Structure 1
Amino acid sequence: MLRILPPLLVLALWIWAFIDCLTTPEEEVRHLPKAAWVIIVLLFPLVGSVAWLAAGRWRGRAAARTASGPDGAGRTRPMAPDDDPEFLASLDKETPHKEDRRHEDMLRRWEADLCRREEELRRKGHPEDGGPA
């Protein structure tokens, strides 16, 4: 079993690095063109895979820096829609949908009914307001 484990780990690393290299957008690849990285990973399974993981792609915070490179000279890409100020601003500009208006009307009616019931309870509880003691 111990003889089979190292080649299996190298094979798994190679397949993972190859698929990662293929699916990485061109603007996140660094140092070499994407095609060169694919060839390196294919021809040199262990060394190419390790090189791709270490130097071939922007990872973590660096991947979110910019579309044009690490120098900050390009447009930044948010990680999620709720991090995008333009998207959040567009939500405020949209008119409410029919379903949203219907829910808001229902909540207003419930609130008015609750206020009416509270007022009735207040009147019943205080003798100076004309209710029973």
Structure 2
Amino acid sequence: SLRARMSSLQASAAEARQLERLVTGYASQEEFVARLHAEEEELTRRVAGMEELKRKVEALRLEAREVDVLEQRLNGLLPVAAQLPGLREQAEALQERAAEAEALEAEVAALPRLEGDVRALRYAVEQHSFKLDA
């Protein structure tokens, strides 16, 4: 029966076309899944890059805060630095006065000895004039 065979061949051809569509659909689904995986990997890389950028931004913020603190310290030190030349002059003047004070202290320390020498000289002069009077 040619008709039965023809019908069977048509059914087989229909099954083959259906299988071909399934295989083609499966292949395009695999391509779609592969594209999804590639997109997922790209998004993962982008997220990692964004996280790295966030860390860098936070580090820069911390550094900016440190710079602000240092700038405030510097602004506090600038008036002191402006006074340094005058303070140096005052220090030099004080050193000169200290040297003068040391010299005066040495003279004051020598006074008792000088007073003793003066008394001895007076006594010698008195003794000498006493001898002259006698």
TM range (shorter): under 0.3
With a CA cutoff of 8 Å and minimum separation of 6, indicate the structure with the bigger relative contact order.
1
In the superposition, the TM-score normalised over structure 2's length comes to 0.24
More helix by share: 2
Task: Answer with 1 or 2: which has the greater Rg.
Answer: 2
